Structure 1
């Protein structure tokens, strides 16, 4: 891997061409991870979600998700990784708009389908990054600019797909209502039956339509929504684990830690240690 690290040796940005056996091995990275897959197919696993794809595509994952690809067929890929200390997607949200679109969105597939022309654009950006890595003293400013262009272009393609209904060609208004209800009540309502009652449908109907529409079960979405909020507060605030557990209405910090670790494989403190606390935590005090 070609990479840059800070003065203390912490990873900031890296680029490599992983072999298929690495792609197929479950892994958790402390960094944001993007795969450019110009050709091939498989199933991209991110935590408990499974997303079939056929290249050319971009695949996205957030820090400490368990990710891997199976049923690989003739996969070619480039792996781009960056730590939030190098590029804060929340701080740059107005310029790039990738937070909640490419990353940290439990409702959207973490996949961006590409055209052949799109692939050329992304391959050129990666080639330019690769050239900068080869310099005697790679410029963080230049590399950060290439990364921002890469993410901005990916966000634009994803948003265009959503706006033209390519992302979900057949809109399910009932499932869109479920999305709204879940965002409103995820702190208090934790059972699929709770939402089925609000929607006036059976739990079986909710499970069937939700799995078809979001490619995840209602139970998984409910869990993911709560854990997503926990991750945000761990990364974007300086609140203590105890305070975050209280915000999320857990009975105590120990129960919160058990639930968080069951889902993410790491404790809240380990997650915070590995991802760091965002500069955003000090901007909005």
Structure 2
């Protein structure tokens, strides 16, 4: 049984935060680097500021929903006071990887290496999300049987709604019929190539060769459209897969490293820590494989 404190649920078996819903009104708890071991959704209702996430910087305004995966570093500097609704949930409470086919937010709302880590909330979606937040708040006050199942259901609908909204806002670039350049085709080809070869090809020059384009030209296009270097994008894709393996399997770090194209386990561990801020073992222990389930 989950332990409850206001709008916070704690997993009594691990002591980890399981689920939390709260409001931000004026004060900004995200004004320093965050490296949280759970998923975070921050719905900005009012205010302006600057978001630093991973390797990029974005201007933040009202009606944005920010989404961050465990240990994804981010910092929000407010220029005007922030009013927001915040939802945190641990993988023990609800696992994005395990439920990918049900909610399809992995690679859209979370772990999206190409689009910004947020979605602009339009009026029709705003009303739906507000209703869901109210239902979650009400359920958190209950102690009846099946509270966990009810909360997960509301969370799923919230994630599905936000993911559909983001997918509509960031369609594949190659589907843009109005473009007059060849860049969208190149970028889509780059995405496809990274997905096919990220386990064996780790260098930007590898992908320039595959796409028959100069490394300099590919670097320029990538930075312009994704606000990241190609090296950063490749690294992000490798780290996402490493996290998935650490979460879902009991493979050793050495086995995971080898499957991702690294013969040296220690080099891979340093690479992982540099990009994920924690070691593979720490990630597994605090986020990952076969943790005690919340019941």
Q: Deviation digits for residues 135-154 of structure 1, max 9, x if unmatched?
A: 35682122112111111111
Q: TM-score when scaled to structure 2?
A: 0.85
Matched, 1:161 2:169: yes
- After superposition, what is the alpha-carbon deviation per residue over 1:83-114, rounded to whole angstroms, capped at 9, x for unaligned? 11111223322331111211122122221111
Residue aligning to 1:277: 289
SS of 2:271's partner is: helix
Tell me which residue corresponds to 1:87: 94
Once residues 79 and 101 of structure 1 are traced to their aligned partners in structure 2, the CA distance between those partners, rounded to angstroms, is: 19
The 3-state SS of whatever aligns with 1:120 is: helix
Aligned: 1:123 with 2:102: no
Aligned length: 278
1:164 Cα deviation from its structure 2 partner: 8.9
Q: Give the deviation of 1:65 after TM superposition.
A: 0.8
Distance 1:230 1:49 in 2: 22
RMSD, aligned α-carbons: 2.4
Moved more, 106-115 or 66-75: 66-75
Q: Normalized against structure 1, the TM-score is what?
A: 0.88
Q: Give the C-alpha shift of residue 20 in structure 1.
A: 4.1
Shift of 1:35: 0.7
Is the contact made by 1:227 and 1:260 (CA closer than 8 Å) also made in structure 2?
Answer: yes
Contact 1:51 1:215 in 2 (8 A): no
Per-residue deviation, 1:30: 0.8
Q: Which residue of 2 aligns with 1:238?
A: 250
> In the alignment, what sits opposite 1:190?
202
Task: Compute the displacement of 1:199 (Å).
Answer: 2.4
- In structure 2, the partner of 1:207 is 219
Change (3 A) 1:39 1:178: same
Of 15, 19, 22, which residue of structure 2 is paired with 1:13?
19
- TM-fit CA distance, 1:163: 4.5
* Alignment of structure 1 residues 102-117 onto 2, 5 Å: 102-117=109-124
Runs of 4+ residues deviating >6 angstroms: none
Q: Structure 2: where are the runs of 5+ without partners?
A: 1-5
Assess if the C-alpha contact under 8 Å between 1:36 and 1:59 holds in 2.
yes
CA distance in structure 1 between the aligned counterparts of 2:172 and 2:203, rounded to whole angstroms? 33
Secondary structure of the residue that 1:108 maps to in structure 2? coil
Is the 1:40–1:56 contact (alpha carbons within 8 Å) kept by the matching residues of 2?
A: no
Q: Is the 8 A contact 1:58 1:112 kept in 2?
A: yes
Partner of 2:228: 216
What secondary structure does 1:101 align onto?
A: coil
Would you say the 8 A contact 1:47–1:67 is kept in 2? yes
- Please say if residues 172 and 213 of structure 1, whose CA atoms lie closer than 8 Å, have aligned partners that are also in contact: no
1:3 equivalenced with 2:11 (yes/no): no
8 A contact 1:28–1:67 mirrored in 2: yes
Check whether the contact 1:38–1:119 (CA below 8 A) recurs between aligned residues.
Answer: no
Name stretches of at least 5 consecutive residues in structure 1 with no aligned partner: 280-285
